[in-house]
A = this chain, B = another copy of it.
Amino acid sequence: MSVADLTTSPVTSTYTKTSSRLHSPQLSLSSTRLSVHFSRSPRPNPRAQNFKITCSVNQVPSPVAVQTEEAKNKSECFGVFCQTYDLKAEEETKSWKKLINVAVSGAAGMISNHLLFKLASGEVFGPDQPIALKLLGSERSFQALEGVAMELEDSLYPLLREVSIGINPYEVFEDVEWALLIGAKPRGPGMERAGLLDINGQIFAEQGKALNAVASRNVKVIVVGNPCNTNALICLKNAPNIPAKNFHALTRLDENRAKCQLALKAGVFYDKVSNMTIWGNHSTTQVPDFLNARINGLPVKEVIKDHKWLEEEFTEKVQKRGGVLIQKWGRSSAASTAVSIADAMKSLVTPTPEGDWFSSGVSSFWVGCGVYAFPFVLLRFMQVKNQAVYTNGNPYGIAQDIVFSMPCRSKGDGDYELVKDVTFDKYLLKRIAKSEAELLAEKRCVAHLTGEGVAFCDLPEDTMLPGEM
């Protein structure tokens, strides 16, 4: 039995929208565990990092069955958040919106420790949106989850009406309208990117299945755990009943850092920088786009005359930011990452300012056409000659069916559209193509997790961003 047999044609089922719950309790009980065997020679040639991944798939006991044995598998309300209340009965709260359910994985980690309090404060969803936080952790972090929940209790946030904690995604994700997937295994000593892709990919495959089974049918998912683009791809492939375009890989911190570096170079305050796109992968192949970005409404190249700096130093400045921060501060950038997650959410729930856009790693295959795109470089060549030529999958001719950071606009309804009026030059095209190639390689590397057969890893180099785990 192959993985492909389990996930029914994810490419074509991606656009299946349904208002009724497709899963029955029986269906949600079945889950799949993948065990992956790396087969390679005892002394691998360090230059040839290719190795085969084969998969064996075993049915495992249903989460509910496990729960009856282990009480901890149950996601449970915590402390004061178990109290009942009637928002409609009170003068101060009767005009509030309906409670929104937000799940956060890696909830005991440092990024979550900043983000949860932002969410509870109303900073993201506004002062009339009561919120339920559903914290997903692990067996090992369960006590820490309790600690986080205690601090949330002691914060007395009026909007925070429910907090539950659990270690079973099938429980924690039930009816969630947002899933912020922050938790991931950090790379151990000597672990290659392929190994990280596999180990974290399995987590995100499981979480995708859980979302598919129990989450709101229109859940918005933001993947932060690295490698986030391919993790998001794995997740959406395992959740065929949720629209693929609802899955995001976080590149907002890169966007924010890029804006700040352009502001510094131009000698302006950061609020003067707009239309900043991060293209591609959240890795060192990412492309902060200075061709389409604007400073005080003008193209960056008209304001920053030092084009050599733009082409040779700017990208590196953005990418090395996390590493410099670790050197200075001794810790990774939890606070600003949490800010950027909140920014990414706010960008989807508030209308994008006129003429501006934001970046998000989203499925390159979301317009609704099953035809595979022509190779990107060829299409871009055509597009440079004729701006009207677009692919069927996305307006930029980027290979379909990967999660690629692109410029987006939103009406504030949680949905978004890709921005069409961007331009490309050879420099930009070349770099986008490199990130595209990397994401296609990462995709081949996790084929066993996306339902596309046997994985084959030929990642050419380590492109993890400095300062990230």
Contact = CB atoms under 8 A, between A and B. Distances in A.
Interface stretch (A1-9, A141-149, A297-305): A141-149
A329 interface: yes
24 contacts: A80-B263, A80-B269, A80-B270, A83-B263, A85-B269, A108-B329, A117-B335, A121-B123, A123-B123, A143-B329, A144-B328, A147-B325, A147-B328, A147-B331, A150-B324, A151-B335, A154-B253, A154-B257, A154-B321, A154-B340, A155-B256, A156-B271, A158-B271, A161-B269
A338 to B, nearest CB: 8
Contacts of A79: 260, 264
Q: Is the interface of A mostly helix, strand, loop or mixed?
A: helix
A80 B80 CA distance: 43
A33 to B, nearest CB: 30
Interface of A: 79-80, 83, 85, 108, 113-114, 117-118, 121, 123, 143-144, 146-148, 150-158, 161, 253, 256-257, 259-260, 263-264, 267-271, 321, 324-325, 327-331, 333, 335-336, 339-340, 343
Choose among A79, A263, A329, A330 the residue with the greatest number of B CB atoms under 10 Å from its CB: A329
Choose among A79, A153, A256, A268 the residue with the greatest number of B CB atoms under 10 Å from its CB: A153
A321 B118 CA distance: 22
Contact of A153 (B85, B144, B260): B260
B264 A80 contact: yes
A447 B147 CA distance: 39
Nearest to A150: B325
A228 to B, nearest CB: 17
* Copies of this chain present: 2
Q: Which 3 A-B pairs have the closest CB atoms?
A: A147-B329, A147-B328, A151-B336
Contact of A117 (B80, B108, B114, B260): B114
A266 to B, nearest CB: 9
Contacts of A147: 325, 328-331
A329 B271 CA distance: 38
Given A123-B123, A325-B147, A329-B143, A155 B339 contact: yes
Given A79-B260, A143-B327, 4 more contacts: A143-B328, A156-B259, A156-B343, A161-B269
A306 B71 CA distance: 31
Nearest to A158: B271
B269 A330 contact: no
Contacts of A156: 256, 259-260, 270-271, 343
Contacts of A85: 269
Nearest to A342: B121
A45 B152 CA distance: 43
Nearest to A262: B80
Contacts of A324: 150
B328 A260 contact: no
A161 to B, nearest CB: 8
A113 B83 contact: no
A54 to B, nearest CB: 39
A346 to B, nearest CB: 11
A113 B156 CA distance: 20
Choose among A154, A155, A325 the residue with the greatest number of B CB atoms under 10 Å from its CB: A154
A273 to B, nearest CB: 9
B336 A154 contact: yes
A270 B335 CA distance: 27
Contacts of A157: 339
Contacts of A154: 253, 256-257, 260, 321, 333, 336, 339-340
Contacts of A327: 143
B83 A150 contact: no
